[in-house]
Amino acid sequence: MESTQLLSVLAAAELVVRPVGMYLLDQRVNPSEIETKGLNSLVSHVDKTAEARLVSGLSLVFPEAGFLAEEGTASAPEGARYRWVIDPLDGTTNLIHGLPVFCVSVALVDGDTPVLGIVFDPNRDECFTASKDGGAHLNGKPIRCGPREELSDALIATGFPHWDFERMPEYLKALTAFAKGTRGLRRMGSAAIDLAYVACGRFDVFFEYSLQPWDIAAGLILVSEAGGNISGFSGQSEPGFLLSGKEVLASSPGVFTESAGVIRSAFG
């Protein structure tokens, strides 16, 4: 897809995403309305309604694309090259507990490569957008990853393991190293927001494992277009591996080598 068409699709998709994000702001979830998909994996009518609205709107924006979405929407026209990968509510647990850290995350992928991404945080009215070779933006203004060159000056973001504890010893080893060797660690509860914050320089490093494509698809292109580095824990850079969410290390360029060394030392 040419860059001009991508920008047109991005602009139209943002008009779909923003109202869905504002819908999230008005919602309250009763305990009786919460469903459990798996260990510490929750879903409510809010997630499902938001997803339905996204699918309906994005189907009109780019009818040739299929869908891969957290709450089960999965479709693709025959021979489809593109897919919308969407998380209607990244940070469901935060919303349920009244913590104002959640967002809508939408990406368009070409095969396994994100070519545009939108992360909209309605609590702060912050819309992060990116398109392939078009740069990354926050509310229309260009953003870049942070300028720090030393890991000791960096602020690290992560997501605590909450259902897959098989690699917990390795994770805690990395967590300890970062706690001792950086300015601090933060856990927001939304991988999409974490990656958007790496893209705009608020965080310098983000790492997590056992995520899903819809958690990170938009964030991947945000970081990439903002000049950052992304890999798996052992340096994997294949688009399919990165999009899987199995493991991700995203960093500003100046501290990528150091942070990758910490991760390799911890995870092997």
pLDDT of residue 34: 63
Domain chopping of the chain, boundaries: 3-142, 151-267
What letter would DSSP give residue 135? E
pLDDT of residue 39: 46
pLDDT of residue 40: 40
For 11-46, b/e burial (b = at least 16 CB within 10 A) is eebbebbbebbebbeeeebeeeeeeeeeeeeebbeb
Judge whether 226 and 121 are in contact, CB under 8 Å. Answer: no
Q: Residues for the chain: how many in total?
A: 268
Tell me the pairing of strands 247-251 and 205-209: antiparallel
pLDDT of residue 29: 65
Q: Which CATH class is domain 151-267?
A: alpha beta
Helix axes 3-25, 45-61, angle to 10 degrees: 150
Q: Per the structure block, which two tokens stand in for 193?
A: 């927001």
pLDDT of residue 9: 97
Judge whether 220 and 197 are in contact, CB under 8 Å. Answer: no
* Residue 199 buriedness (CB in 10 A; 0-12 / 13-18 / 19+): buried
pLDDT of residue 96: 86
Please give the span between the terminal C-alpha atoms of the chain, in angstroms, as a whole number. 39
Measured distance CA(48)–CA(30) in Å, rounded: 15
Q: Per the structure block, which two tokens stand in for 249?
A: 């290390």
* DSSP of 69-96: ETTS-EE--TT--EEEEEEEEETHHHHH
The domains spanning 3-142 and 151-267 adopt the same CATH topology: no
pTM above 0.85, yes or no: yes
What letter would DSSP give residue 153? G
Count of other CB atoms within 10 angstroms of residue 56 = 10
pLDDT of residue 26: 84
Judge whether 227 and 253 are in contact, CB under 8 Å. Answer: yes
pLDDT of residue 42: 47
CATH superfamily of 3-142: Fructose-1,6-Bisphosphatase, subunit A, domain 1 (3.30.540.10)
Torsion of CA 249, 232, 10, 188, to 10 degrees: -30
pLDDT of residue 53: 96
10-residue mean pLDDT profile of the chain (268 residues): values are 93 98 83 56 74 96 93 74 95 90 97 97 98 97 98 97 89 97 97 98 97 97 98 97 97 98 96
pLDDT of residue 31: 59
Helix axes 191-199, 213-225, angle to 10 degrees: 0
pLDDT of residue 268: 87
